[in-house]
Amino acid sequence: MRLGRAGGEVKAVQKIRLIARLDVKDHNLVKGIQYEGLRKLGDPHDFALRYYEQGIDELLYLDTVASLYGRNNLSDILARTSADVFIPVTAGGGVRSAADAEALLRAGADKVAVNTAAIARPALITEIARAFGSQCMVLSVQAKRRDAQNPAAGWEAYCDNGREHTGLDVLDWVCRAQALGAGEILLTSVDCEGVGKGMDIPLYEAVCARADVPVIAAGGAGCAADVAGAARAGASAAAVGSLLHYGRATVAGLKEELAQMGVEVRR
């Protein structure tokens, strides 16, 4: 709490970074619902440049089929983006080694997101963190509720775009990963992803209470109030996709609404 001028308590202002999430398949920006039914939307670079010009804080590129085909296809897109966009960029999908991470960083990424390979071999988290710094190592967590009718059952971490069970409890996995060197958590609610009807606030609250590193809330944002809820849950950033891609909101409009709700944003 902060003290007001009259000595009364004033609730601490929440802060949030806005990140544009760009899911890529081949060379197309795509968007689906719960990672299914992907719809082509156009050239991802055009969208990235538009959001940059509108004032987005960061960009997040995810190759949606990289794990399936065993390779990441973002290098050309990252090279184009780094020539025109001057904000932090995170890239993920199909990263299986420190060499894979280095290739993305050399192409223009500032941070690398890893999910499937980190679950298969957790030591990869430490290898990337030691090679490039923990700030570059983003753990991507795809969380699904174990039982929609029983919130106390918690969440399981999934991989391969929310298709494959891992048996890992999300809270336990986040704690282990940050101990191994993860410097940030990209936390996606698979249940809410692409639906646009609200974010899984209890998920973010639970993870943020256990995490000692920044948490990016992703999945389900349908309006500024959803993003504000993620900020109040403790998230340091919110990744939004459909809300921007389909023109339901602009970056400037989102930031203005968030500021009116008492959430601090970057201008």
Residue 266: both structure tokens together: 């970057």
Are the beta carbons of 204 and 235 closer than 8 angstroms? yes
Residue 191: predicted pLDDT: 87
Alpha-carbon Rg for the chain, nearest whole angstrom, is 18
Residue 9 lies in a domain: no
Q: What is the pTM of this model?
A: 0.90
List beta partners, residue 33: 36
CATH number assigned to the domain comprising residue 211: 3.20.20.70
- β 89-92/155-159 pair status: unpaired
Are the beta carbons of 100 and 124 closer than 8 angstroms? no
Residue 61 lies in a domain: yes
Mean pLDDT score across all residues of the chain: 89
Are the beta carbons of 21 and 218 closer than 8 angstroms? yes
Low-confidence ranges of the chain (pLDDT < 70): 1-13, 32-39, 66-72, 162
Residue 2 lies in a domain: no
Residue 2: both structure tokens together: 């902060």
Residue 7 lies in a domain: no
Residue 2: predicted pLDDT: 30
Residue 26 lies in a domain: yes
Are the beta carbons of 228 and 261 closer than 8 angstroms? yes
Q: pLDDT for 132-191, tens place per residue? A: 999 999 999 999 999 888 888 899 999 877 678 899 999 999 999 999 999 999 999 998
Residue 243 lies in a domain: yes
Residue 62: predicted pLDDT: 93
Residue 101: predicted pLDDT: 96
> Which ranges in 121-250 belong to alpha helices (H)?
123-132, 170-180, 201-210, 224-232, 242-245
Residue 221 lies in a domain: yes
Residue 50 lies in a domain: yes
Q: What is the DSSP string of 114-131?
A: E-HHHHH-THHHHHHHHH
Residue 1: predicted pLDDT: 28
211-214, long-range: CB < 8 A, 24+ apart:
211/174, 211/175, 211/178, 211/185, 212/178, 213/134, 213/178, 213/182, 213/183, 213/184, 213/185, 214/183, 214/184, 214/185
C-alpha torsion sign, points 227, 201, 128, 62: negative
The count of domains in the chain is: 1
**Rounded (5°) CA angle 78-82-88:** 95
Helices and strands, counts by H and E, the chain: 11, 16
3-state secondary structure of 250: coil
Domain that holds residue 117: 15-264
Q: Is 250 left (phi over 0), alpha (psi -120 to 50) or beta?
A: beta
